[in-house]
């Protein structure tokens, strides 16, 4: 029996952080067991915010894929590629943009949120407004059955489904498949300052840290602001640090830390030392693999080349059907 197909991508706009690791990459790794997975570096999407200096995108794409491989994305079980290496994405985006009403894009609930988060950049462009159409093309060009998303991204996927329904209605054929969601856990990972972890906020712990760079970040993390002295009892639920223990510390130790914090038997430095040790244990194998791949970048390039060939084959088949449905198959 053929596996259902998954499609997902990440914008290569800089180093990946722990939020990506917990919210996306660990899910990607687990999905490989059950699904046929297409994972891509969304470099055209990166241009929506990095168009003034796109030079960072090419290297970020390769570096990002080395991280994917290092955390367990298996090129023998998943198709890994760069979005821009498969030109059919742009063709389908163009055709879908012709049938997508502008109000559908303007009502996108994350449009204003992203503009606010990236307010230091000029995002008053068609590319930014229309990125959900490109996103739809990315998904349906591979006939995705499922898309792994958090609950906050459901409106994006519903827009994709609306575009698919409109296309199939206009051209009288079930050419494109409506994808369904796989709701994945999308934990809110706080940054060093308590806000959402984000590269743009400068408060991130990156996957590509070292033990030396990680230590000062952990030691400066905000804790319970009401705990002024070592002898004061604290409240883990009011501590910016404790959510990290939920992800990286075993249950018995978490309970010990909670009790020790509330009784003042544990100080904040004690708590941070445990977290630092656990982060190093979690990521040391990843760091070793990253170092290996960075010393063998031709291997990464070969993986991307093989992924491009597989993705191109699939996308060409879809575009042949799309052109036929739209009566645009002049040369097919």
Question: At residue 113, does pLDDT exceed 80?
Answer: no
For the segment 239-262, the average pLDDT, to the nearest whole number, is: 91
d(CA 111, CA 108): 5
Q: Pick the range with the lowest mean pLDDT from 93-97, 110-114, 298-302.
A: 110-114
- Report the SS3 class of residue 148: strand
What mean pLDDT, rounded, does the chain reach? 91
- Cα-Cα-Cα-Cα dihedral sign, residues 309, 59, 200, 238: positive
Q: Of 325, 318, 320, nearest to 140 (Cα)? A: 318
Contact status, residue 6 vs residue 146, Cβ threshold 8 Å = yes
Which CATH superfamily does the domain covering 209-291 fall into? Answer: Tyrosyl-Transfer RNA Synthetase (1.10.240.10)
Which residues face 80 on adjacent strands?
39
pLDDT at residue 119, as a whole number: 65
pLDDT per position as a tens digit, 283-329: 999 999 999 999 999 999 999 999 999 999 999 999 999 999 999 98
| pLDDT for the residue 253 | 94
Q: What is the DSSP letter of 199?
A: G
User: 97, 133 in Cβ contact below 8 A?
Assistant: yes
Whose structure tokens read 């042949």? 320
DSSP 65: H
Radius of gyration of the chain (CA): 22
What dotted CATH number matches 5-189+297-325? Answer: 3.40.50.620
Mean of pLDDT values over 54-79: 95
Residue with token string 């449009």 = 111
Residue with tokens 């290297």: 59
**Dihedral sign computed on CA atoms, order 262, 266, 268, 272:** negative
What DSSP letter does each residue of 11-48 carry, written as one string? --SS--BHHHIIIIIHHHHHHTTTSEEEEEE-HHHHHH
Highest mean pLDDT (candidates 67-71, 125-129, 220-224, 229-233): 67-71
Phi, psi of 98 (to 5 degrees): -70, -20
Contact 21, 72 (CB under 8 A): no
- Number of C-beta neighbours around residue 17 at 10 A: 21
C-alpha 67/C-alpha 295 separation (Å) is: 13
pLDDT mean over 209-228: 88
Phi, psi of 40 (to 5 degrees): -135, 150
Domain boundaries, the chain: 5-189+297-325, 209-291
In this prediction, residue 118 has a pLDDT band, given cuts at 50, 70 and 90, of low
**Average of pLDDT values for 87-105?**
97
pLDDT band for position 89 (cuts 50, 70, 90): very high
216-245 mean pLDDT: 84
Rounded CA gap, 149 and 135, in Å? 13
pLDDT digits (tens, 9 = 90+) for 154-170: 989 999 999 999 999 99
Q: CA 31, CA 157: separation in Å to the nearest integer?
A: 18
The yes-or-no verdict on residue 112 having pLDDT over 70 is no
Instruction: Let me know how long the chain is.
Output: 332
Torsion over CA of 109, 54, 98 and 89, rounded to 10 degrees? -100
Confidence at residue 275, expressed as pLDDT on a 0 to 100 scale: 96
């Amino acid at each position: 029996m053929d596996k259902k197909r998954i499609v997902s991508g990440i914008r290569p706009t800089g180093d990946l952080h722990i939020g990506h690791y917990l919210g996306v990459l660990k899910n990607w790794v687990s999905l490989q067991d059950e699904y046929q997975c297409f994972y891509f570096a969304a470099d055209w999407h990166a241009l929506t915010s990095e168009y003034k200096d796109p030079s960072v995108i090419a290297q970020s794409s390769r570096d990002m894929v080395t991280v994917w491989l290092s955390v367990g994305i298996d090129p023998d079980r998943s198709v890994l590629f760069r979005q821009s290496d498969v030109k059919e994405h742009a063709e389908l985006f163009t055709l879908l943009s012709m049938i997508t009403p502008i109000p559908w894009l303007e009502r996108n609930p994350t449009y204003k949120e992203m503009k606010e988060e990236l307010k230091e950049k000029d995002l008053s462009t068609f590319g930014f407004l229309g990125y959900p159409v490109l996103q739809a093309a990315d998904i349906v060009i591979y006939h995705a059955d499922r898309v792994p998303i958090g609950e906050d991204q459901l409106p994006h996927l519903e827009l994709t489904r609306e575009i698919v329904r409109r296309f199939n209605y206009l051209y009288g054929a079930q050419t494109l498949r409506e994808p369904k969601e796989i709701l994945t856990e999308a934990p809110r990972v706080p940054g060093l300052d308590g806000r959402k972890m984000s590269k743009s906020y400068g408060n991130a712990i990156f996957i590509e840290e070292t033990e030396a760079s990680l230590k000062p970040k952990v030691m400066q993390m905000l804790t319970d602001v009401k705990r002024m002295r070592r002898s004061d009892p604290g409240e883990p639920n009011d501590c910016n640090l404790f959510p990290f223990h939920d992800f990286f510390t075993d249950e018995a130790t978490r309970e010990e830390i909670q009790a020790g914090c509330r009784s003042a038997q544990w100080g904040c430095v004690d708590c941070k030392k445990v977290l630092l040790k656990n982060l190093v244990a979690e990521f040391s194998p990843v760091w070793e693999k990253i170092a290996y791949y960075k010393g063998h970048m031709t291997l990464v390039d070969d993986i991307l080349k093989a992924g491009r060939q597989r993705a191109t084959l699939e996308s060409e088949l879809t575009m042949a059907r799309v052109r036929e449905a739209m009566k645009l198959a002049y040369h097919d």
